[in-house]
């Protein structure tokens, strides 16, 4: 029996679409979840956690992951697991992988108490396999000895450049890992990443979990439909000694081209807020 208290719904915008078939354990804890109708292409959703002062990573040895931002909050893990359970693919950058090197991007890994409910949800959606774990690395600077590659628990797509592919091929590529070199060199475009994912797996929902540079690219290329943002009641601070990034890095929007979201929902779990925003996304894949 899960002892976690249900999230309190403070605001939910009525929207046309379809209710997702959440099993009782998930519907009790999260409430109703629906997605607007989205024919013709995958729905691309972002998920992030930030402090009250906008820090998404402490960038300190041993304290580099999102858990230090949320306080390892169980409601945040619940929502992360729910979104992963819905996803056909989860996209992260190599920096995110380095911050949590033991991680696998599955629902049951982030929140084991609801593993059965997450699997029931995936089964009801016809998703028999775990979500494709997509690791984006322009330079190919990843160790294939990490569990996400070696465990065989998840299928993995490494999206890189031709130069990065040479670096990766210098290691032994495990059977569960596919390599996609989508351009010769330079930063990888969000649209090209999505195209590589589309070629590797048919997707209805693609989840982007960052980091901040990758999230900035998805916003800049209008590739993100929604953002689920956890607001943790923590002030982390910045002293200029080390970079403490915000949600988006490497891209500037305002005042020339600000990106405005539409608030779709607000939930509360204790002093944590769970926000959901919709963004105008151009057709991508």
In a domain, 19, yes or no: no
Average pLDDT over residues 185-212: 94
- pLDDT value of residue 3: 83
Q: What is the CATH number of the domain that holds 105?
A: 3.40.430.10
Structure tokens at 52: 């009250």
Domain range holding 213?
A: 42-278
**pLDDT beyond 80 at 64:** no
Which residue carries 């005042």 as its tokens? Answer: 255
Q: Does a structural domain hold residue 24?
A: no
Per-residue pLDDT at 136: 98
Task: Give pLDDT, residue 284.
Answer: 46
pLDDT for res 285: 46
Give residue 13's pLDDT. Answer: 92
Residue 284 counted as domain residue = no
Please give the pLDDT value at position 1: 41
Q: What pLDDT score does 252 carry?
A: 95
**Mean pLDDT, the chain, integer:** 94
Angle of helix 190-200 versus helix 212-220 axis, rounded to 10: 100
Q: Which of 15-19, 126-130, 213-217, 246-250 has the lowest mean pLDDT?
A: 15-19
- CA torsion angle 243 207 138 222 (round to 10): -90
Dihedral angle computed from the Cα positions of residues 220, 221, 223 and 225, in that order, rounded to the nearest 10 degrees? 40
Flag whether 37 is in a domain.
Answer: no
Domain membership of residue 36 (yes or no) is no
Judge whether 151 lies within some domain.
yes
Quick one: average pLDDT of 189-206? Answer: 96
End-to-end alpha carbon distance in the chain? 41
Residue 235 has pLDDT above 60, yes or no: yes
Q: Is residue 232 part of a domain?
A: yes
pLDDT at residue 282 in the model: 66
């Amino acid at each position: 029996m899960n002892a976690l208290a249900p999230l309190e719904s403070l605001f939910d915008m009525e929207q046309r679409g379809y209710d997702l078939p959440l099993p009782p354990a998930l519907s009790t804890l999260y409430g109703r979840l629906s997605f607007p109708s989205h024919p013709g292409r995958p729905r691309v959703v972002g998920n992030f956690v930030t402090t009250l002062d906008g820090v998404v990573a402490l960038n300190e040895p041993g304290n580099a992951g999102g858990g230090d931002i949320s306080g390892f909050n169980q409601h945040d893990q619940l929502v992360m697991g729910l979104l992963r359970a819905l996803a056909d693919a989860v996209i992260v950058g190599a920096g995110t992988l380095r911050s949590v090197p033991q991680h696998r991007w599955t629902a049951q890994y982030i929140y084991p108490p609801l593993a059965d409910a997450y699997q029931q949800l995936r089964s009801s959606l016809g998703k028999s396999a775990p979500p494709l774990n997509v690791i984006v690395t322009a330079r190919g600077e990843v160790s294939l000895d990490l569990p996400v590659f070696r465990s065989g628990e998840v299928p993995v797509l490494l999206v890189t450049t031709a130069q990065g592919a040479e670096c990766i091929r210098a290691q032994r590529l495990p059977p569960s890992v596919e390599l996609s070199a989508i351009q010769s060199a330079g930063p990888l475009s969000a649209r090209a990443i999505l195209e590589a994912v589309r070629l590797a797996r048919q997707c209805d929902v693609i989840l982007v979990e960052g980091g901040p540079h990758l999230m900035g690219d998805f916003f800049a290329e209008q590739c993100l439909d929604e953002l689920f943002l956890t607001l943790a009641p923590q002030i982390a601070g910045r002293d200029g000694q080390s970079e403490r990034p915000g949600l988006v890095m490497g891209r500037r929007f305002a005042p020339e081209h600000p990106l405005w979201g539409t608030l779709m929902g607000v939930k509360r779990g204790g002093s944590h807020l769970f926000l959901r925003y919709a963004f105008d996304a151009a057709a991508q894949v």
